[in-house]
Amino acid sequence: MTAVVRFCALIALLAHFVALPALAQTQERRVALVIGNSAYKNAPALPNTPNDARDTAEALRKVGFEVVDGIDLDKRGMDAAVSRFARLAQDADAVMFYYAGHGFQFNGENFLVPVEAKIDDEVSVQYETVKLSEVTTALSFAKGVKIMVLDACRNNPFLAQLSKKTTTRSMSVGAGLAPIVKAQGMVTAYATQANDVAADGAGRNSPFTAALVQEIKQPGLEIATMFRRVQKAVYDSTGGKQTPELSLSLLGDFYLNREETDADIWKQLRSSDNAAEIKAFIQRFPTSFFVVDAKTRLDLIERRSASPDREKREQEFAAREKELLDRLQKAEKDRQQAAVDLAGRDAGKGDGERSVPKPGEAPAAKSSDASERDRLAKELAKREQELAALEAEKAKLIQERQDREKAVATRNDASGATELPAPQKPLLPSTSARPQRQEPRELKPQQRVVVDRKSTGILTGGVEPEPEPRNARGRRPSKPAAADDCADALRAQIGGSASNCR
């Protein structure tokens, strides 16, 4: 069993070593050399070239380059940097050289100037400077894409000295840099057109480097597209005075920034329900074309997550409306009953018909009637106050309902969505359906029927009848048929004859 385990371990180890070369082949090697010279001893200083070099080096590291960089290098320092870069560039998949500082062309060849160089004649040109061809040789060690970026096309500070000390008739000193011979797989970018002069810039960076660093940050740009955008930015920022020049000889596409573009990322997120990822997309690409879609998607996710709470709040609101409606109905019923009781008391009635006093029973005291009416009036006033308070509460709830509906409509209009549920139909009417209260009218005492004492001995009302009207001859006027029917009914009820019926 132990032998089998050892054999399996050995096979796994061999497989690991076999896989290492394949893994190494899948990882792209990128190397860059970045130099910025500023503090010249025998030439005008260039204030922004250190910033240009540092910012470019940082941008290249972020996109996967191993950077060899140097600031204010002398001749020995520049030679050492180029030598180190050449060793690292061997078999690299992509290499890039960036230089910001003084450079000039002499006899059609380009030279980069170290900070301590003193150039008086053509001999000093050969031994005090670094030939750009040496850098081109270092780039050629790479097997992949080779990029050379030169922000060195400034005024030649040695033009006057070289012109005075010319020893060869064929020697020529030109402005800017000379064109570079094209090579397969080579990309060359000048800060301005060949034989022209580039601006230093008044800000942190030169116009060319400022545009270059900005475009390197943009993911998914093919290198030709990237440098065309740099050209456009420099042309616009300098008012057309400076136009970068690009020489490109590639058989395929190359991307400095291989990160996914906003379009690639949004393609993956467009159906996502993760609000955090979409918020991160908006923060990362604030100017993206897809930000509007992302914000719409984020709003939909947030509304969907809030819909259970919204439904719960709607149910609670409907319950409040129903409870208030029940209280309103009960309060209105109580108020109506109190009004009826008070009106009945004013009309000589109480909660029901007043009982007929028995013979010999004393009538109720007037003070008791006054206190009872006062109690009923206070009860009615109390019911009116309760109802007024409920009416105020109802008006407040109706206003709250209207505010909620307005907020939902505004949100729907702003987002252009229709998923938001409309609030439930209100239970409470906007105006009260309760009839307006009418104050009880003072009722005149009704004429009561008095039965003849002699026939029955019962007093049904306690008020003596008014004398009946008679005509000029002293006779009572004839009664209509309805009066006869009333008299017959009353006689039948009390078992005797009635002297009057009204």
- Paired sense of beta strands 130-131 and 109-112, if any: antiparallel
- Paired sense of beta strands 173-174 and 103-106, if any: antiparallel
Using the structure block, give the residue that is written with the tokens 């920034």.
257
Q: How far apart are CA 244 and CA 199, in angstroms?
A: 11
The percent helix, strand, coil of the chain (3-state, each to 5) is 45, 10, 40
Query: Residue 289, Cα to own-chain centre: how many angstroms?
Result: 16
Type of residue found at 354: R
Are 116 and 74 in contact by the 8 Å Cβ rule? The answer is yes
How many Cβ atoms from other residues are within 10 Å of residue 59's Cβ?
23
Type of residue found at 59: A
Phi first, then psi, for residue 27 (nearest 5°) are -90, 120
* 3-class SS of residue 283: helix
Identify the pLDDT of residue 443.
46
Q: How far apart are CA 162 and CA 169, in angstroms?
A: 12
Enumerate domains of the chain plus CATH numbers.
28-259 (3.40.50.1460), 447-464+478-502 (no CATH)
Please, what's the largest Cα pairwise distance for the chain? 170
**Cβ-Cβ contacts under 8 Å for 253 (sequence gap 6 or more):** 222, 223
* 3-class SS of residue 156: coil
Identify the pLDDT of residue 498.
44
Query: Which CB contacts under 8 angstroms, 24+ apart, belong to 263-267?
Result: 263/220, 263/289, 263/290, 264/220, 266/290, 266/293, 266/294
How many Cβ atoms from other residues are within 10 Å of residue 130's Cβ?
22
Q: How far apart are CA 339 and CA 389, in angstroms?
A: 18
Per-residue pLDDT of the chain (502 residues; tens, 9 = 90+): 455 545 555 555 544 444 443 333 447 899 999 999 999 998 888 889 999 999 999 999 999 999 999 999 999 999 999 999 999 999 999 999 999 999 888 888 899 999 999 888 888 888 999 999 999 999 999 999 999 999 976 556 676 666 665 544 344 555 567 777 767 789 999 888 765 566 655 678 999 999 999 999 988 899 999 999 999 999 999 898 888 988 888 888 999 998 877 888 888 888 888 889 999 989 988 888 889 999 998 888 887 776 666 677 777 778 888 888 888 888 888 888 888 888 887 776 544 444 555 555 555 556 677 888 888 888 888 888 888 888 888 888 888 888 877 777 776 666 555 444 545 555 555 544 454 555 555 444 544 444 444 444 444 444 455 555 555 555 555 555 544 555 555 455 545 444 444 4
Q: How far apart are CA 135 and CA 188, in angstroms?
A: 12
Are 107 and 151 in contact by the 8 Å Cβ rule? The answer is no
Q: Is 201 left (phi over 0), alpha (psi -120 to 50) or beta?
A: left
